[in-house]
Chains A and B, each alone.
Chain A
Amino acid sequence: MLGIKYLSSPNTAKQGNLLSMFGMAAATGITLATPGLHGFNLIIIGMFIGTVIGGYAAIKVKMTSMPEMVALFNGCGGAASALVAMAEFQGVGIGLNSFTLITLMLSMIIGGLTFTGSLMAYAKLQGLISTRPITYPGQQFINGAVLLVTVVLCWFLFQDPSNILVFFAILALALILGVLAVIPIGGADMPVIICLLNSYSGLAVSMTGFALNNNALIITGSLVGASGIFLTKIMCDAMNRSLANVLFSAFGKVDESAADSGEAQTGTMKGFEIEDVATILANAGSLIIVPGYGMAAAQAQHATRELGEYLGEQGVEVRYAIHPVAGRMPGHMNVLLAEADVPYEQLFALEDINDDFDSTDVVLVIGANDVVNPAAKTNPNSPIYGMPVLDVEKARTVIVLKRSMSVGFAGIENDLFFMENTMMLFGDAKSSLQKLVASLKQ
Chain B
Amino acid sequence: MDTGTIIIGLTIFVLACFAGAELIAKVPPTLHTPLMSGSNAISGIAIVGALLATGHAETLNTISFLGFLAVIFASINVVGGYMVTRRMLQMFKK
Contacts and interface: CB of A to CB of B under 8 A. Distances in A.
Q: Do A and B bind each other?
A: yes
Interface of A: 5-6, 8-10, 13-14, 16-17, 20-21, 24, 27-28, 31-32, 34, 36-39, 42-43, 45-47, 49-51, 53-55, 57-59, 61, 63, 66, 69-70, 73-74, 76-77, 79-81, 83-84, 86-88, 90-91, 97, 99-100, 194-195, 198, 201-202, 204-206, 208-210, 212-231, 234, 322, 324, 329-332, 334-335, 338-339, 341, 344, 347, 349
Contacts of B80: 53-55, 57-58, 69, 73, 76
Interface residues of B, number: 82
B34 A13 contact: yes
A50 B71 contact: yes
B46 A46 contact: no
Candidate in B18, B82, B92 with the most chain A CB atoms within 10 angstroms: B82
Contacts of B18: 226
Nearest to B25: A230
A11 B52 CA distance: 35
Given A10-B26, A42-B54, A230 B20 contact: yes
Given A37-B56, A227-B21, A231-B35, 15 more contacts: A13-B31, A24-B82, A28-B48, A34-B55, A42-B54, A58-B81, A84-B49, A198-B36, A205-B49, A219-B16, A223-B16, A231-B32, A331-B29, A331-B36, A338-B91
B80 to A, nearest CB: 3
Tell me whether chain B's interface is mostly helix, strand or loop, or mixed. Answer: helix
A349 to B, nearest CB: 6
A27 B41 CA distance: 14
Contact of B88 (A5, A66, A206, A231): A66
Contacts of B39: 198, 202, 223-224, 227-228
Contact of A55 (B14, B69, B79, B92): B79
A224 B36 CA distance: 9
A74 B40 contact: yes
Contacts of B70: 79-81, 83-84, 87
B41 A20 contact: yes
A46 B43 contact: no
Interface of B: 1, 5-6, 9, 12-14, 16-21, 23-58, 60, 62-64, 66-94
A-B complex: 6 closest residue pairs judged by Cβ atoms: A50-B75, A54-B80, A226-B20, A46-B71, A331-B32, A330-B32
